[in-house]
Amino acid sequence: MKKDIVFLIAFIITFFVSCTQDEMIYNEEIEEKGMIMNKKSRKHPLAPEIVRDQIVIQFKKQGLKEYQKEKIRGDVQNKYFFRIKKIEKCDCDDDRIELWTMDISDKYFIGIEDLVSELSTDDDDDDDLNGDYQFSITIQNVDENVFDRDITEITDRVLPKNAGDRVNIAIIDTGIDYDYFSTPFLYNSSGDNPNCRPNEIAGWDFVNNDNDPRDDHAHGTLVYEIIREILADKNVNHQILPVKAFDRNGRSDYFKLTCAFKYIASKQKPFLVNCSFGFYNLKNQNIIENIIKDNSDKLLVMASAGNEGVDTDAEGNEHFPSSYTAENILTVGGYTGDFYFSPQMGSQYVSGFDVAPESNFGANSIDVVSLFKHKMTLEAVKRGDTLHRIEAKVKGTSFACPIVTARAARVYAKNPVLPFLLKNSVLGTCHKNVSLRNKIKNSKILVKGYFFEAVYHPPTPTQ
């Protein structure tokens, strides 16, 4: 009997402990699941607002027939429990990139985060698609008059097809106001793709889907004026491909930007690409990065680093496209200050500068800083006896970026090389500043008007 009582007590204790342990395991599982849910639902303060019923997709295989695309679309819809209500393309019937607007009312739909996660892989067995979030992006406003007087026609500013050797520069922005530039400067893109845009003149407007990428905001015009002023001073022949992806309010979205990159990449000639914009935190957006990487033989992308004053090396602060790891991206922050004394001949080091307080920084993610604050004067062509003049004061990495684009054009005009070699050559013309240590990669600074004379020599095949 005594033995039976001891056994019963032991059994009760064992049962209680077992139940307690199971409950602890169960609670841990619930807690872990709760943490995962919070991680998905918690929005990083720098992250853009995601459109919940849209997704940007890219068919992985080239040359798919429409019936093949339709089968892939059907398979994905059935697998993830949604229906495509509308398909938008980048103006080209054979394009692999599409924007889907979806009916997500099915209770089994896994949610936009999980859908993008499932499709954001290079695994060829996964639905034959890449998928990225769709979201809005806004560039900084410039406190100037809106340039919408439309005095000059685009055709008056287009260079002839046989304009000679010129550096090709594409500017993805709000467009360009032709009124403020008195001579032809636009890349003649007519006939580049008659099957896609038979009426193309010089660049494209992805906001209004037409052939007149006129600026009705000001940002893109000021970006080009910085480039123009430097290249005119150095007599560098160039031509500009304006790619309007931002509207009069400075607003765009990921799909328009994807189409803009794809459009430039479709050109046969090499281009320097100025990107004075960016978005934060969504580091698994693959489609634009893939376009840049796939065209590393003909595109060098200059990308502004952003103006939040944060370390973009840190998890959650990543800024794109500037934080993409493609070898043909050159990332630009901003500096303030001035020389304590002029640079000594043969010395790469200068002093008197630092990263601008508003500029992002990152010892691994940002390649160079250039001038953060600018003052410029723009004069419109005459209408009768009236001359329209604007005094513009601007600041930001958006306006540091075109200085580096202009430097790249200078270097390329003398030595046209592949984009990654050009990137190294451009950085080789820059100085270093000790105060940039642990803030900017290799402490690099491009001081406007100062060209370090060390020349980058690419290795020969025997080295």
Fold match between domain 50-138 and domain 154-445: no
At 391-411, the pLDDT tens digits run 888 999 999 999 999 999 999
What distance in Å separates the CA atoms of residue 393 and residue 373, rounded to the nearest whole number?
Answer: 8
Closest CA to 148 of 122, 180, 119: 180
**Per-residue pLDDT at 111:** 96
At 409-451, the pLDDT tens digits run 999 999 999 999 999 999 999 999 999 999 999 999 999 888 8
> What CA dihedral angle connects 151, 153, 154 and 156, to 10 degrees?
-110
Cβ proximity of 131 and 116 under 8 Å? yes
* pLDDT range class, residue 11, cuts 50, 70, 90: very low
| Most confident of the following: 43-52, 148-157, 172-181 | 172-181
At 323-338, the pLDDT tens digits run 999 999 999 999 999 9
What is the β-pairing status of strands 329-337 and 353-355?
A: antiparallel
Of 196 and 146, the one with more pLDDT: 196
**Per-residue pLDDT at 423:** 98
**Per-residue pLDDT at 91:** 77
Of 347 and 201, the one with more pLDDT: 201
Burial class (CB in 10 A: 0-12, 13-18, 19+), 6: exposed
Q: Judge whether residue 2 has pLDDT over 50.
A: no
Q: What is the CATH number of domain 154-445?
A: 3.40.50.200
Q: Judge whether residue 97 has pLDDT over 80.
A: yes
Bond before 321 cis per omega within 30 degrees: yes
Q: Judge whether residue 276 has pLDDT over 60.
A: yes
> How does the average pLDDT of the chain come out, rounded?
86
Least confident of 186-195, 248-257, 357-366, 454-463: 454-463
The radius of gyration of the chain's CA atoms, rounded to the nearest angstrom, is 27
What distance in Å separates the CA atoms of residue 90 and residue 209, rounded to the nearest whole number?
Answer: 9
Query: What's the predicted TM-score (pTM) here?
Result: 0.87
Q: What mean pLDDT do residues 207-223 have?
A: 95
**Per-residue pLDDT at 95:** 80
Q: Judge whether residue 280 has pLDDT over 60.
A: yes
* pLDDT range class, residue 125, cuts 50, 70, 90: low
Of 461 and 3, the one with more pLDDT: 461
* pLDDT range class, residue 7, cuts 50, 70, 90: very low
| Residue 282 one-letter amino acid | L
Q: Which residues pair with 50 in a beta bridge?
A: 135
At 260-271, the pLDDT tens digits run 999 999 999 999
* pLDDT range class, residue 40, cuts 50, 70, 90: very low
Cβ proximity of 214 and 176 under 8 Å? yes
**Per-residue pLDDT at 336:** 96
Cβ proximity of 139 and 167 under 8 Å? no
Break the chain into its structural domains and give their ranges: 50-138, 154-445
Q: What mean pLDDT do residues 125-145 have?
A: 82
**Topology adopted by domain 50-138:** Alpha-Beta Plaits (3.30.70)
Q: Among all chains, which residue has been given the structure tokens 């062509």? A: 381
Share of the chain above pLDDT 70, in %: 84
